[in-house]
Amino acid sequence: MRVFVIIPIHDHIDETLRCLDCLALQTLNARTIVVVDGGSTDGTPERIAERHPYVTVLPGDRSMWWTAATALGVEHVRPLAQPGDFVLTLNNDTRVGPDYLEQIVAASNSHGRALVGSLNVDIEDSSRIVDSGVWWNWRTASSRQVDIEPGTDSTTAVNTLSGRGMLVPIEVFEAIGNFDAGRLPHYAADYEFAMRAARAGFGLALSYLAVVRVNTETTGREGDLATPVGFGAALSLLLSRRSIRNVFHRLRFVSMACPEEYKWRNYLAVLAASAWLLTNVPGLFQAKNFLLRLILPAGLKSWMRARKLIPLEKVKGGPKDQGT
């Protein structure tokens, strides 16, 4: 059994080297590390060769985003893999402990060679959980983080997985193909792939013992829907490939992954969220929130604050109003 670790990169060589330093200390020796370089200009191949000469660096170009780079890595390792092997997708702005690979492989085997995600925590504060697993509810056009049950090592209460530490049995690629770089070049490609695997009958799980520490300062742009934003920045959030809120990619994700009976509901939810973001530009933002404070009942205000659709309000002389 071997784990092929695939890390897509573009510049940020110091981040990459720190990630590779962690992988060099793994207690599981049967590993092959493949870095896919999307046209770095900071001497990435040379620096990696000096410090970690056993790492394979595949040359790419600046047109490659997360999905194309990861898919290239997968295509490189598939002919090398044997039955029982795994592919692990990992970002270069992450850190892992020395038993990380052992823990995530053990979790997969304990769940019948399931695809397994990692518990993501903040690199500066490990008590701050970034991703504890996702349950995507197409019926309500919403998603939520899964609660961690005390005393458990993993959960299967997830229906998709993040690519920041996703272990995939090699046979999954034979059954469903690769990540879809053509339609989802950056965000949501990992979620779509995991959902596609689940539809094909593969199990999904998340390990609480396989912990990935994430540099939240270098992750992509999101922007909540309760914060004022300039018109140019709002357009960038809706159109940039680096934005989780890219409206075209969100619509494409729905078309690829959503059950037919819920598709129109989710298309409308994406469009409504995009339109709501545009109302956060100066002037409109203040007028909208003044009007909503006047007309919304307390229960609906609380619901909207919980979903970060409107800002929390400061109560004079006290903490922020939680809408209770």
225 part of a folded domain: no
Q: Are residues 71 and 124 in the same domain?
A: yes
Q: Are residues 69 and 122 in the same domain?
A: yes
173-182 long-range contacts (CB < 8 A, ≥24 apart) are 173/74, 173/78, 173/87, 175/200, 175/202, 176/200, 178/71, 178/74, 178/75, 179/67, 179/70, 179/71, 179/74, 180/67, 180/256, 181/65, 181/67, 181/68, 181/71
- Residue ranges making up the domain that contains 195: 3-214
226 part of a folded domain: no
Q: Are residues 9 and 48 in the same domain?
A: yes
60 part of a folded domain: yes
Q: Are residues 199 and 253 in the same domain?
A: no
Q: Are residues 153 and 243 in the same domain?
A: no
Q: Are residues 177 and 48 in the same domain?
A: yes
Q: Are residues 115 and 196 in the same domain?
A: yes
Give how many domains the chain has, as a whole number.
2
Res 319: pLDDT = 36
Q: Are residues 145 and 260 in the same domain?
A: no
196 part of a folded domain: yes
What pLDDT, in 10s, does the model give residues 293-324? 888 888 887 877 877 788 876 433 333 433 32
Q: Are residues 193 and 79 in the same domain?
A: yes
DSSP state of 93: T
38 part of a folded domain: yes
CB atoms within 10 A of CB 97: 17
Res 78: pLDDT = 97
66 part of a folded domain: yes
Closest Cα partner for 159 from 128, 130, 187, 138? 138
Q: Are residues 8 and 85 in the same domain?
A: yes
142 part of a folded domain: yes
Indicate the angle between helix axes 284-295 and 298-306, nearest 10 degrees.
Answer: 140
Closest Cα partner for 207 from 94, 93, 120, 86? 120
Measured CA to CA, the distance from residue 73 to residue 91 in angstroms comes to 13
Residue type (1 letter), 105: V
Alpha carbon distance, N-terminus to C-terminus of the chain:
53
Q: Do 188 and 65 form a contact (C-beta atoms < 8 A)?
A: no
pTM of the model: 0.88
What pLDDT, in 10s, does the model give residues 96-134? 999 999 999 999 999 999 999 999 999 999 899 999 999
Percent above pLDDT 90 for the chain: 69
What pLDDT, in 10s, does the model give residues 235-280? 888 888 888 889 999 999 999 999 999 999 999 999 999 998 898 8
Last residue within a domain, chosen from 187, 214, 241: 214
219 part of a folded domain: no
Q: Are residues 208 and 240 in the same domain?
A: no
Strand partners, 122: 214
**Residue 223: which pLDDT band, with cuts at 50, 70 and 90?**
low
- Which token pair is 272? 């409504």
Last residue within a domain, chosen from 165, 182, 214: 214
Residue type (1 letter), 245: R
Q: Are residues 198 and 261 in the same domain?
A: no
